[in-house]
Structure 1
């Protein structure tokens, strides 16, 4: 199952959520911080940085394919390539 680290109110995160929904891909949403950068969940925020090395959202984790990535356009392209 895919995991998306994102923030409500972030347009880039919304773009990825919309692609996941349109493609019908099962996923888990994590909200480590707000769109303004305020930490909402310290443990999830630490996990985001440990997985990707950056404090950047959106961040996709595809454990089945051992893929992690930032950048909404890259994520949407990846989803369309592998899940459409």
Structure 2
């Protein structure tokens, strides 16, 4: 199963979502950042702990549970999806 940790409005996340759509992949989406007030984004604690378990506090973050692969960086994720799912 593919899981994508992302944020709406993030162009890097949009790039990964577009690739997932292009290849017709089924995936679960998580939004660890919710729209906040004046201070910017407010962390969604439920998914934030899962996000930082990969070692960084950034999105996009892809988890491929079938291959036991996790990765950040949109270009790396798109390349990985092309290699394994396209």
TM superposition score normalised by structure 2: 0.89
Q: Which runs of 5+ in 2 are unaligned?
A: none
Larger radius of gyration, structure 1 or 2? 2
In the other structure, the counterpart of 2:65 is 63
Cα RMSD (Å): 1.6
Q: By percentage of residues, which structure has more strand?
A: 2
Q: Tell me which stretches of 4 or more aligned residues in structure 1 moved more than 2 Å.
A: 34-37
- Counterpart of 1:44 in structure 2 is 47
TM-score (norm 1): 0.91
Q: Summarize deviations over 1:15-73 as a string: whole Å, max 9, x none.
A: 000000000001000000158861342110111112x1110100000010010000000
Structure whose residues are more often helix by fraction: 1
- Label 1:3 to 1:27 Cα distance change in 2 as closer, same or farther (>3 A): same
